[in-house]
């Protein structure tokens, strides 16, 4: 009888330890799957925001080139009204400032960039300034640099947020990993 109880206890102990290992492994892989999906989402959203930032930068560069060409050559055919482009820029800035589960952009930073871009897109002001001073406006480069600096600050903030989110996601995987290690040591 004593031998039967001993075997029964050993069998139950082995079943419990293997069940614990199995459940720990299952929990680990479910957590791993969840964290990988979370990291993919973090990277995808950040990539979309960086694409928007790059689109804004290229639009500012394009306007800068057209302004300088117009002011250098005084060719009216190069003058393109950018009202539609400004609407597109507003949409891009609005999509940047949309709140989601991951990233938060300060509303005043997008508003400051928008104000600078509206002033930068004001061709008439640059034309008037050029007529008054009879030289190419150096303010164009200064305003472009100001806009690009603000956008770079926003990009750095986005990079910092992404790094913190990815680190947090990786730290969340520590508990399942520790639990799996502990349960395998018990067996």
pTM: 0.71
User: Cα angle at 168 between 172 and 45, to 5 degrees?
Assistant: 115
Residue 42 lies in a domain: yes
User: Of 37, 52, 124, 50, nearest to 95 (Cα)?
Assistant: 52
3-class secondary structure for the chain? CHHHHHHHHHHHHHHHHHHHHHHHHHHHHHHHHHHHHHHHHHHHHHHHHHHHHHHHHHHHHHHHHHHHHHHHHCCHHHCCCCHHHHHHHHHHHHHHCCCCCCCCCCHHHHHHHHHHHHHHCCHHHHHHHHHHHCCCCCHHHHHHHHHHHHHHHHHHHHHHHHHHHHHHHHHHCHHHHHHHHHHHHHC
* Tens-binned pLDDT, residue by residue, of the chain (187 aa): 588 888 999 999 889 988 988 888 888 889 888 888 988 988 888 898 899 889 888 888 888 877 777 766 665 555 555 666 777 787 888 887 777 777 777 777 888 888 888 777 777 676 666 666 656 667 777 888 888 898 898 889 888 988 888 888 888 878 777 877 777 776 6
pLDDT value of residue 77? 53
Residue 161 maps to a domain: yes
Residue 177 lies in a domain: no
Given this model, what pLDDT does residue 132 score?
67
Q: Output the six-digit token pair for 89.
A: 């820029």
Give 121's DSSP letter. T
Backbone dihedral region for residue 20 (phi beyond 0: left; psi -120 to 50: alpha; all else: beta)? alpha
What CATH number does residue 63 fall under? 1.20.120
Residues 6+ positions from 118 with CB-CB distance below 8 Å: 86
Range of the domain at 94: 37-172
Helix axes 174-186, 139-172, angle to 10 degrees: 20
Is residue 181 one of the residues assigned to a domain?
A: no
Give domain status of residue 27, yes or no: no
pLDDT at 45: 87
Asked if residue 68 is part of any domain, the answer here is: yes
- Structural domains of the chain, count: 1
Domain-located, residue 72 = yes
Evaluate whether residue 56 is within a structural domain. Answer: yes
């Amino acid at each position: 009888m004593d031998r039967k109880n001993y075997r029964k206890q050993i069998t139950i102990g082995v079943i419990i330890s293997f069940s614990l290992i199995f459940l720990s492994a299952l929990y680990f892989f479910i957590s791993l799957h969840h964290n990988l999906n979370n990291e993919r989402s973090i990277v995808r959203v950040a990539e979309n925001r960086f694409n928007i930032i790059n689109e804004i930068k290229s639009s500012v560069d394009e306007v800068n080139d057209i302004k300088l060409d117009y002011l250098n050559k005084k060719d009216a055919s190069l003058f393109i009204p950018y009202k539609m482009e400004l609407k597109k820029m507003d949409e891009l800035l609005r999509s940047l400032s949309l709140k989601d589960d991951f990233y938060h952009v300060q509303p005043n930073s997008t508003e400051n960039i928008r104000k600078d871009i509206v002033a930068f897109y004001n061709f008439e002001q640059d034309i008037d300034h050029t007529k008054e001073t009879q030289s190419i406006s150096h303010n164009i480069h200064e305003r472009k640099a100001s806009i690009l600096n603000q956008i770079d600050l926003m990009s750095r903030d986005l990079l910092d947020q992404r790094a913190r989110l990815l680190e947090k996601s990786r730290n969340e995987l520590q508990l399942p990993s520790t639990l799996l290690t502990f349960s395998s040591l018990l067996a």
